[in-house]
Amino acid sequence: MTSFSFIHAADLHLGTPFKNLGECDVKWRERLREAPFRAFERIIRLCIEKGVDFLVLAGDVYDSSEQNLRAQVRFRDGLARLAQHGIKTYIAKGNHDYGDATGARFSWPDGVCFFPEGQVGSFLHRKNGEVVAELLGISYPDQNTTQNYARSFRKSGRANYTIGVLHSNVGGQPGYDNYAPCSLADLRAASLDYWALGHVHRKLVLSQMDPVIAYPGPPQGRSARETGPKGCFLVEVIGTKTSCTFLPTAEVLRETISLDITPWEKLEDLFSGLEEAIETYAGSAGYLVARVELTGRGLLHKELAAEETRAELLEEFRGRSFRGFRGVYLDDLVIRTDPEIDKEAERRSQTITADFLRALAELTEEEGAPQVAAALSSLYDSKYRRYLELPRGGELSELIRAAENTGLDLLLGEED
């Protein structure tokens, strides 16, 4: 029985410009800009080390359809290394790298196969002269593909094992554009053995077997939202049995670290708490970019609520080195702490504080929404509207909660 293996990766986004880095210094800027390339090179190394038969890329190789020169050169060099080792690459283009207007500046190494645009194409993969797999795939002809491509995939039976390569939003995954939308049922109906998906920027296995349907997510997180381990799948096929292993590839890990201040009495407790939290991520990647969120109710709240303290703390955190990483950068410090107040007791107190708490509680309820909207309208209906994003559900209640804390601080704060 012939066995073979491949690596499934997607959403490389080579050439990501990394905006919104705050005041991060030149060294970190360069490190982040370089990170997607390093992650891609790790995939190439893994292909060679694991001795896979081919690499499958399910869309968004480049971050932009302009496909900057640096990204193209690094991509081609990586594929050339695979070609030297006799490893083929099968590529479907997605919504970021659609079309090939400028993609033809270089000739591609032998064994690099692009799926055609707008129609499902097929490649037969041979190992020692024998066909071991058929790869079906489609590339985006333009950026906003709303067609259901999944329905055009069908197992032909020309190989014992069929892989579908598609950049698509399966089942309307929230938070992602609804490109080439399809349902899980559409994918199952094609009777393939493995669906190599791209587009969703997190590891997501929609079906464990018969067929395997999976998104590996990007090999490198690109924004503060893309937290957690990032990597690719090593897929090993023996007969009709498929086993899938997630291999981490990120150069820089992105995390949001939430710390509860409740048990802490002094600022130095916060430092040791942060150190401990960061150590739990050690070893997942070389570098860490973390956003720290402080929550909970406690003695430290008052100190933390002052903007100067927040700024100084962030500065102090940034100056520290943390064990287990070659480097840690704290891109933001978010204070969501509450004062040490017994809100229940205050509510019962029949004081102005109780009235204040009641008024705010009403705002967070459904009936309060029009009042909030009316209060915000002068700001959001103004000429600045296009620069401002209206706070959405969660953000709005977060704002109201913060207003409650500020109000309580003002009403109950000791005079000093």
State the residues that interact with Mn ion by CB under 5 A.
11, 60
Choice between 60 and 331, CB closer to Mn ion: 60
Could you give the CA distance from residue 244 to residue 31 in angstroms, rounded to a whole number?
A: 30
Choice between 37 and 322, CB closer to Mn ion: 37
Q: Are strands 162-167 and 194-198 parallel, antiparallel or unpaired?
A: parallel
User: 169 by DSSP, 3-state: which?
Assistant: coil
Choice between 16 and 337, CB closer to Mn ion: 16
Element holding 162 (H helix, E strand): strand 162-167
- Who's near 359: CB < 8 A, 6+ residues apart? none
For the bound state, the minimum distance from the C-beta of residue 6 to Mn ion, rounded and expressed in Å, comes to: 20
For the bound state, the minimum distance from the C-beta of residue 416 to Mn ion, rounded and expressed in Å, comes to: 52
**Nearest CA to 285 among 320, 322, 260?**
322
355-360: list long-range contacts, CB under 8 Å, 24+ apart.
356/407, 356/408, 356/411, 357/404, 357/408, 360/400, 360/403, 360/404, 360/407
| Amino acid (one-letter) located at 259 | L
For the bound state, the minimum distance from the C-beta of residue 10 to Mn ion, rounded and expressed in Å, comes to: 7
What is the longest distance spanned by two Cα atoms in the chain? 86
For the bound state, the minimum distance from the C-beta of residue 219 to Mn ion, rounded and expressed in Å, comes to: 11
Choice between 91 and 237, CB closer to Mn ion: 91
For the bound state, the minimum distance from the C-beta of residue 168 to Mn ion, rounded and expressed in Å, comes to: 11
CA neighbours closer than 13 Å in the CB half-sphere of residue 17: 6
For the bound state, the minimum distance from the C-beta of residue 225 to Mn ion, rounded and expressed in Å, comes to: 13
- In this structure, what token pair is assigned to residue 199? 């587009």
Element holding 363 (H helix, E strand): helix 352-364
For the bound state, the minimum distance from the C-beta of residue 87 to Mn ion, rounded and expressed in Å, comes to: 23
User: 131 by DSSP, 3-state: which?
Assistant: strand
Choice between 95 and 242, CB closer to Mn ion: 95
Choice between 12 and 32, CB closer to Mn ion: 12
Choice between 11 and 53, CB closer to Mn ion: 11
- In this structure, what token pair is assigned to residue 296? 């909970």
